[in-house]
Amino acid sequence: MTLILLLMVLLVERVALQSLPWHATRYLKWYSTKYSHKIKDNDTFSLLLFLVAPAVAVGIFLFIFDSRLIDFVVSLFVLAICVGHYPLRKYYRQFLNAQQRKDTEAASILHYKLMGEPLENEGAEGNKSESGDSSNEEIEDPGSENEEAERPDFDSAENKNESVGETLVWINLQYYAAPIFFYVVLGVPGIILYTTVLYIAEGKFIDSLKDDSNQATASKWLEWLLWVPARLVSVGYMFVGHFGRGLEAWLKYSANLSKSSKFVVTQVALAAEGLEKSNADIEAVNAANAEKMVRLAKRNMVLFLVVVALLTLYGQIV
């Protein structure tokens, strides 16, 4: 059943799950608004309870109502809202359109948005229909009425040091590979726990925690959660890309605890695809390299599904 659910969600997510009810942000915003005030300042225990409560509640519900039908419906719904991110997918399409028009400034702005600009009105965006003529699609700033006030600082070190390809590989890990990993390993409670920690810790799509110490703790826990998925996804990049170069990068960085999950997965992906992050790539926001990284991530997802299928055949997962 796991494989069937994953295939259903991945096939439908691209075309149908594009409205607010099919996005985790809606539910986590409600949960955060209603209960985040109960978290005490600089209190790890209350923060932990806040983050695990949704997963525990759903786990208890599934345990009490021990039904295959209920489990199937709940699993399908949870996967549908936790896997993928429609607003970011829309920004990527706009980025490709900007590249086709040779609009470098628009492409740079959209890269900034892909890196995680807060999407305060993303629900309204999700319900808007897209124009049939994609070449005339405008860049929307969902978080501000004044575009000039929100214009990104393209001279910042972070923006200069991250190529579009790296951004897309990181998005793929956060919103596709990692949620599926936790669902396969820990079931519905696992993917709910990961998604809750992701959105709370990132603070990009819902309000950040009021206490900076708690926010930092949540970010640290998110890095712990991503440690194993990032290394496994990197192994996949080795097999679907250039194995020798990917293996060299994986051996160099994977066991280095000082390197973040983002650094490991992006460096292995670049090596596996035979790309070097040059200054020209960063400044010109090279679309060709971005498309190569997207194709690499797609091949890796197919490999992951093949592994799930083999484990299903041998009875390791259901």
- Residue 114 falls inside a structural domain: no
Helix (H, G, I), strand (E, B) or coil at 155: coil
Query: Residue 267 falls within a domain, yes or no?
Result: yes
| Residue 110 covered by a domain | no
- pLDDT of 135: 40
pLDDT of 76 reads 93
The tens-digit pLDDT sequence of the chain (318 residues) is: 888 899 888 888 777 766 677 888 889 989 988 888 888 888 899 999 999 999 999 999 999 998 999 999 999 999 999 998 877 888 888 888 888 888 888 888 888 888 865 444 444 444 444 444 444 444 554 443 333 333 344 334 344 567 888 889 999 999 999 999 999 999 999 999 999 999 898 876 666 677 788 889 999 999 999 999 999 999 999 999 999 999 999 999 988 888 999 999 999 999 998 876 554 444 444 556 778 888 999 999 999 999 998 888 887 665
- The vertex-307 CA angle with 305 and 310, nearest 5°, equals 110
> Is residue 284 situated within a structural domain?
yes
Q: Which of 133, 125, 146 is nearest to 101 (CA)?
A: 133
Q: What pLDDT does 95 receive?
A: 86
Task: Supply the range of the domain harboring residue 295.
Answer: 2-85+163-313
pLDDT at res. 286 = 59
Q: Is residue 29 part of a domain?
A: yes
In a domain, 214, yes or no: yes
Does 275 reside within a domain?
yes
Q: How many independent structural domains does the chain possess?
A: 1
Q: Is residue 212 part of a domain?
A: yes
User: Which structure tokens are listed for 56?
Assistant: 């525990």
**Closest C-alpha among 168, 167, 176, 181 to residue 225:** 181
